[in-house]
Structure 1
Amino acid sequence: MRIGSWLAALMLSMAVAAPAMAEGGWWEKDWPYRKVITLDTTASGMNVPGAVGRSLVLVRLHSGNFGFSDSLDNGADLRFTAADDKTPLPFHIEKYDAQNQIAIIWVSVPNLNGGEKQDIHLYYGNKNAPVGQDIPGSFDADYAAVYHFSDNPGQPVSDATANKNASQAAPAGVNDAAIIARGGRFPGNVPLTIADSPSLAIPAGSGFTFSAWVKPDQLPEQATIYGRGGLTIALMAGVPAVVAGGAQLKANAALKQGDWSHLALAADGKIVRLYVNGVEAGAASAALPAQAGPIALGAGFVGEMDEVRISKVGRSPAAILVDAKNEGPGDKLVTFGADEKQGGGHSPMLTIVQNTPFDAWVVIAILMVMLVIAIWVMYAKSAYLRLAMKANAAFMKRFRRLDDLVPFDRIEGIDAKERALIEKAPLKALYDVGMEELEHRKGMQIKKKGLSAETIEAMRASVDAEQVFQNEKLDKWMVLLTIAISGGPFIGLLGTVLGVMLVFGEVAAAGDVNINAIAPGIAAALLATVAGLGVAIPSLFGYNYLNAQVVTIANEMRVFVDRLITRLAETHHHMNPPQQPLSGDLPQAAE
C-alpha cells in the first residue's frame, strides 16, 4: 500500500506540473490543441537583413516537434493563424505521413521582415475537421509555376499554383528522400518539358526569378538547368552560369558533386543576379530577353532537382536567402514552442510521452515488468524477514528459560498462537535438527560412553547444514533485485540509444536539424533511461535494507549454532556418568 501510494503521488506531481496555457484568445473552440511557431529573422535565428514581404515558409513536422497521435491521419485538421491568432493563413501539405510521423507543409506568411521574431500558430486535433489546405492560395500572384515533384512515379509534374502549368511528361525517376520530400531524377538525355502558356509569358526587360534545388551527380561541360528562348541557366563543369541573349554571367566556384545546392537567378530589368545557397555569386547589368515557347528543365543534367519556382518578378536578395536557408538543412528560421491545450496546457511529461518512439516503449515495458517484480520481491521478502525476526525473538525467549533441552513439542505452557509463530523461526529449525541429532546419538550410546569430539563435530555438521538451508531461504529471490540494479540502467540506455537513432533518422528524412526539432525527440528517448534508473534506484535501496536484515538473522543463527552445540554437549554430560570427557578439549577426570 505504501509503494502504491508513493507511485500515485509521483504520477500526480508530474500531472500538475503542466504549464499554464499561453495568454491570449483561442482561434476556434473546435480545435483543442495549438502550437506556437516562431519565425526568427534576428541574429539569433536566420539573421536576414531587409524586408522580405510575403513568403512561402516551409514547416517540417516530425515526432520531435509534433504530436501526430492528436491529429488526423491525413492532416486535414491542421490550420495556421497569423500573429494576431485570428487571421487564417493559406497553406498546403506536400507530404503527410502519420505512420512515419513526417510532414512537409508550406505556409504563406503575409509579411516577413528581417531582424524580427514573428509568431504564427498551428492548430490541430479537431477530429471532424474538413480538409483546410488551399494550394493555389498559398502563392502570390507573381508565381508563374511551382513544382514540388510530389506527384507519384510515372505522372507528369503538377504545377502547385493556380496556373496549372504541368509538365508534358513524367520525369525519368523520382527520389522520395530529396532535399524536401520527393524530388525528380534527370538522366541527362531526357529533359522535362513544360508547354508554353499565357501565364508563363515573360516580356523583354521585365522582372524574372528562377530558383531550384539541384544535386548534380556528374559535372559535364554544360548541363542546362533551365532553358527557354534566349535564356539559359546552366552548370558549366559544375560552375553555375547564365546566358541571356549576348550577355553571360558566371559564378566563381563549382557546385559540389553529389550535394544539394540552392540555385537562383533574379532580374529586375536592369541587373541580373546569380545566387548559390542564398548568397549572391555574381551580378551583371543586363535586361533579360523576352521568354516564350516551351521550357526545358534538365537538358544534359544528370542528377536530381527539387522545388523549382518561376516568378514574373525579381525577388529580393532577402527573399532568396530566406528560401535557401529555410528549405535547406539546418533551418534556423522556424522554431517550435510547447503544445498548448484549450483551457489548460500540455504537460512537458505528456509531450515527452507522445514523442516516445515505439522501440523505447518496448524497452520501457520490459523495465516496468522488472520494476513490478522488484517491488514484489521487496514486499514479500520484507514481510518474510520481519516475521522471521519476530519468530526468532519469541523462540529465544523460550529457549533461555529451558534448564534441560528437550524437543520443542514437549515444552509445556505455550499456547497455539505462540507455537505457530515460533514454528516460523529459523532458529527453531536449527534447534529441531540439534535435538534430533541428540536423540539419535543417545540411542546409539554403547557402554554409557560420552560424546566424543568427532560426534560433536558430526552434530555440528548437521546443524550447519540446516543453517546453510535457512540462509538460502533468506537469500531467495534477492538475485532478482541485483539483476534490476545492474541490468535496469543498461536496458534503459539501450532504449535511449534506439530512440535517439530514430529521432536523428526522422530529422534527417524531414531535413530539419535545428535544436528545437531535435530536443523533444531526445527528451522522449531519455525517458527509457529514466525508466531504467527508476527500476535500479528503488531496487538498490531495497536490496541494501533487506540484505542488512538477512545478515542480522544469519549472524544470529551462527551464534545460536555455537550456543546450541555447547548446551547439547552439556546436557548429554549431565545425563551420563562422568567416566569419559565430553570432548577432547575437556580435562581428564580424576580416578
Structure 2
Amino acid sequence: MPGLFVLLALLVFPATAHAWWNEAWTLRKAITLDTPGASDGAPVLVRLHVGNFQFDRARGDGGDIRFIAADDKTALPHHIAQYDPLLGEAFVWVKVPEIKAGATLWLYYGNPAAPAVEDAPGTYDADTTLVWHFGERGQPARDFSGNSNHAAGPGIPAEGTLIGTGLRFDGRTTVHAPASPTLAWPANAALSWSAWIKPATLTGRALILSRRGGQNALLIGAEQGVPFVEVTAAGATRRAVSAAPFGANTWHHLAFVAEGARATLYLDGQPAAMLDAGIPALDTPIFLGGDRAAAAAPVTDGFIGEVVEVQLARAARSAAQLAFLAASQGGESGARTVLFGEEEQSGATTGGHAGYLTVIVQNLTVDGWIVIAVLAGMSVLSLAVMAGKNSYLSAVRKGNERFLKLFNERVASDMTVLDQAGPTLAVTEAEQRLITRSPLYRLYHIGAEEIRKRLSETKKREDKTLSAHAIKAITASMDGGRVREQQRLNKQMVLLTIAISGGPFLGLLGTVIGVMITFAAVALAGDVNVNAIAPGIAAALLATVAGLAVAIPALFGYNYLLTRVKDVTADMQVFVDEFITKAAEFYPKRASEKARLSDTDS
C-alpha cells in the first residue's frame, strides 16, 4: 500500500519549517525554475500530481493553494485551470515576476479552511487579450485573461492532452471567438499568438487559426505537415513556410509574433519562418480549427488533431520568453524546467504528528488490523499484477515491432516464409525469443500453418492458389487465435478491478465495525465525551484510508494497462486483415476455376 506507507511516513517523519509565511498553512514546497536564459515575467504552468502534491491534505477544489515569492512574504497571482483530486492531477498558472535561472517561489497548501483567492486576470499582463485552457469539458472555453473573449461554442473535448483537457478537431468543426474591441487589430500592430498542437494527420492543407475581413486575412496552419503563416493585406498575399515539419501525433508549441512590418513563426520555442509583412487590420471573428468566412459558413481546410492552451496578446513576445514557455509547458521538458523541492511541514504541527500516529495505532481494534492486513495483501497482489503485466506488454510491444519489420521486409511471394525453420528467418537468438513472444507472430503462425496445409500437395508456383472457402477458413482460424490472444492480454486484470472496487468497501467495513465498537465501549463505560470517542473514530478511519490506498494505485494502473491492451488488440485486428488480404493476393483463384465458375453461373 504505497499511498498508506507514504502517509504514515509523513506523520512519523515531519520536516522542520523555517521562515514560514503563514502558520495556518501546514505544507509547502520550493519551486525552482531551471532555464538558460532570462526574460520578463510570465505565467508559469505548475503541474501538480500525486508525486509532488498531497491532494488529500488540500482543499477539495485546491482553494488553499498559495504561491509566495522567494522573500516568503509576497503573494503571487495565480489561478487553477484544472483540478481533479480523484485523478490526482492539477494545472495551476502563477505569475512569476522575473524568469531567470534559479528563480524560486514557494507553493503553500494544507489549510482546508482557507478561502479561494484565485486571480486569473492578474496572472497575465495587460497586453494579454485571450487565454483558453479548455478545461470546461463540454462547455464553451472561458477566457481567463479577464477580457470576456469566451468561445462561442463548446467544441469536442479531448481528455488527457499535454495540459489536461483540450479540444479535438475533426476537420469539419471549428471554435471561434466573436469579434470584440479587445480583439481588433490595426495594421502592423504588435501581436503574439501561441498554442499547443498535436496533428493527427500530416496530409493536405490544415488551418489552425484563420481570420478574414474583406481583402485582409491572417492564416496559420500546416501544409503536408509543414507549418506556415499567410498574411493577406488589400488582396496581396505573403507567405512564410517553416523549415521544420510537424510530427504526426506529437505535441508541438506553435507561436506567431508580429511587430511592425515583420512577423516570425516559432516552432517549439525556436524561430521557424520569417515574413517581411505585418498583420493587416482585422476586427472579425477568430476561428480555430479551420477556415470560415463566417460562423454559419462551411469549414474549409479543416484541421484534424488536438489543440490546447491558446493565448493571444497585443504585444510582441520576446524569443527568450517564447523559448521558456515552450520548455516549461512541455511534458518532459516542463519537468526539467519547473523543479519541485522537498516538502516541508510547518513548525506548528511538527511536534504533534507522531502523537497522532500513536493514538491511531493504540486505538486500532483487532478487526481493523485484520482488514488492514487483508488490504495489504490485496495491495501487494495488485502491485505484482501491474508490474508483471506492464513488463509483459512492453515485451509484446517490442516483439510486435520487430516481427512487423521482418514481415514487411521479407514476405514477398511466400506467406509462410517467416514460419520455416533454418536460416530463412536469419535473426539472432535473442531476436527469435523476442519475436516468439509477439501475439502478431502467433497469429501469423496460425495463418501460415493453415496456408501450408492447403498448399502442401501443390508443387508448381502457378498452381498455388486458395479458394474463397479456404480464405474464409483461414480468417476464422486467425480470428479464433486473436480472441485467445486477447484473453491472454486481459489475464489477471480482474484482480485489479477487485482491488479497485473491493478495497474501499473493505476499508469502509473496517471503519464501520470500528465505529460500532467505539460507541459500544462508550455506552458500557457510560462516559460520553469527545476524548472518549475521538481516538476510536480516528483509528477506525485508518481502515478507510487503507482501502483507498489500495484502490487508487490500482485504478491508475488498470486504466494505463487497459489502454496498452487496447493498442495491442487493435494491432492484432489490423494484422489479421492485412494478412488475409495479402494471402488472397499472393494465392489467387486459378483462371480455369474462374472459368468453370463463370460457366456455372451462366
TM-score (norm 1): 0.55
SS in 2 for 1:117: coil
Does residue 77 (structure 1) correspond to residue 60 (structure 2)? The answer is no
**Corresponding residue of 2:130:** 145
* Residue deviations 1:16-69 (CA, integer Å, cap 9, x gap): 765432x43x2222212211111121xxxxxx32x3212111111111111112
Inter-partner Cα distance in structure 2 for 1:275 and 1:12: 48
SS in 2 for 1:177: strand
SS in 1 for 2:161: coil
Superposition pairs of residues 303-314 of structure 1, within 5 angstroms: 303-314=305-316
Inter-partner Cα distance in structure 2 for 1:492 and 1:222: 47
Inter-partner Cα distance in structure 1 for 2:10 and 2:208: 56
CA contact (8 A) 1:39 1:118 kept: yes
Does residue 117 (structure 1) correspond to residue 107 (structure 2)? The answer is no
Inter-partner Cα distance in structure 1 for 2:154 and 2:373: 54
Inter-partner Cα distance in structure 2 for 1:14 and 1:52: 38
- The alpha-carbon deviation at position 492 of structure 1 amounts to 10
Residues 496/219 of structure 1: CA separation in 2 closer, same or farther (3 Å cut): closer
Residues 15/244 of structure 1: CA separation in 2 closer, same or farther (3 Å cut): closer
**Corresponding residue of 1:157:** 141
Inter-partner Cα distance in structure 1 for 2:143 and 2:8: 52
Is there any run of 5+ residues in structure 1 with no aligned partner, and where?
1-10, 42-47, 354-364, 373-486, 502-523, 529-591
Percent of residue pairs bearing the same amino acid type: 37
SS in 2 for 1:231: strand
Inter-partner Cα distance in structure 2 for 1:190 and 1:338: 45
- The alpha-carbon deviation at position 250 of structure 1 amounts to 0.5
Inter-partner Cα distance in structure 1 for 2:350 and 2:386: 23
**Corresponding residue of 2:444:** none
CA contact (8 A) 2:208 2:289 kept: yes
CA contact (8 A) 2:43 2:95 kept: yes
The one-letter code of the counterpart of 1:133 is: E
Residues 221/20 of structure 1: CA separation in 2 closer, same or farther (3 Å cut): same
The one-letter code of the counterpart of 2:278 is: A
The one of 268, 273, 280 equivalent to 1:282 is 273
Residues 312/40 of structure 1: CA separation in 2 closer, same or farther (3 Å cut): same
CA contact (8 A) 2:198 2:305 kept: yes
The one of 15, 21, 31 equivalent to 1:37 is 31
Inter-partner Cα distance in structure 2 for 1:489 and 1:56: 40
- The alpha-carbon deviation at position 220 of structure 1 amounts to 3.6
- The alpha-carbon deviation at position 221 of structure 1 amounts to 2.6
**Corresponding residue of 1:556:** none
SS in 1 for 2:160: coil
Inter-partner Cα distance in structure 2 for 1:283 and 1:310: 19
Inter-partner Cα distance in structure 2 for 1:243 and 1:13: 58
- The alpha-carbon deviation at position 342 of structure 1 amounts to 1.5
**Corresponding residue of 1:546:** none
Residues 112/493 of structure 1: CA separation in 2 closer, same or farther (3 Å cut): same
- The alpha-carbon deviation at position 253 of structure 1 amounts to 3.0
Does residue 28 (structure 1) correspond to residue 38 (structure 2)? The answer is no
Residues 220/32 of structure 1: CA separation in 2 closer, same or farther (3 Å cut): same
- Where does structure 1 differ by over 4 angstroms across 4 or more consecutive aligned residues? 11-19, 344-347, 365-370, 487-493, 498-501
The one of 231, 243, 254 equivalent to 1:244 is 231
User: Rg bigger for which structure?
Assistant: 1
Residues 222/491 of structure 1: CA separation in 2 closer, same or farther (3 Å cut): closer
Inter-partner Cα distance in structure 1 for 2:349 and 2:25: 14
Is there any run of 5+ residues in structure 2 with no aligned partner, and where?
1-6, 291-301, 358-368, 392-548, 554-602
CA contact (8 A) 2:14 2:344 kept: no
**Corresponding residue of 1:169:** 153
Say what the alpha-carbon RMSD is for the aligned residues: 3.5
Residues 144/493 of structure 1: CA separation in 2 closer, same or farther (3 Å cut): closer
Inter-partner Cα distance in structure 2 for 1:107 and 1:40: 16
Does residue 231 (structure 1) correspond to residue 218 (structure 2)? The answer is yes
Residues 198/499 of structure 1: CA separation in 2 closer, same or farther (3 Å cut): farther
The one-letter code of the counterpart of 2:16 is: A
Residues 29/286 of structure 1: CA separation in 2 closer, same or farther (3 Å cut): same
SS in 1 for 2:91: strand
* Residue deviations 1:224-268 (CA, integer Å, cap 9, x gap): 111113211111111100111232111123211222211111122
The one-letter code of the counterpart of 1:127 is: P
The one of 337, 340, 353 equivalent to 1:336 is 340
Superposition pairs of residues 47-446 of structure 1, within 5 angstroms: 48-49=36-37, 51-113=38-100, 116-153=101-138, 155-171=139-155, 173-229=156-212, 230-245=217-232, 246-299=237-290, 300-330=302-332, 331=334, 332-343=336-347, 369=373
Residues 63/293 of structure 1: CA separation in 2 closer, same or farther (3 Å cut): same
Inter-partner Cα distance in structure 2 for 1:64 and 1:500: 20
Inter-partner Cα distance in structure 2 for 1:174 and 1:488: 36
**Corresponding residue of 2:488:** none
The one-letter code of the counterpart of 1:277 is: D
Superposition pairs of residues 539-578 of structure 1, within 5 angstroms: none
* Residue deviations 1:532-574 (CA, integer Å, cap 9, x gap): xxxxxxxxxxxxxxxxxxxxxxxxxxxxxxxxxxxxxxxxxxx
The one-letter code of the counterpart of 1:20 is: T
CA contact (8 A) 1:20 1:344 kept: no
The one-letter code of the counterpart of 1:306 is: V
The one-letter code of the counterpart of 2:198 is: K
Report the number of matched residues: 354
Inter-partner Cα distance in structure 2 for 1:288 and 1:13: 58
Residues 131/204 of structure 1: CA separation in 2 closer, same or farther (3 Å cut): same
* Residue deviations 1:509-540 (CA, integer Å, cap 9, x gap): xxxxxxxxxxxxxxx99xx9xxxxxxxxxxxx
- The alpha-carbon deviation at position 168 of structure 1 amounts to 1.7
The one-letter code of the counterpart of 1:261 is: H
CA contact (8 A) 2:15 2:345 kept: no
**Corresponding residue of 2:599:** none
SS in 2 for 1:182: strand
The one-letter code of the counterpart of 1:494 is: A
The one-letter code of the counterpart of 2:177 is: I
CA contact (8 A) 2:23 2:348 kept: no
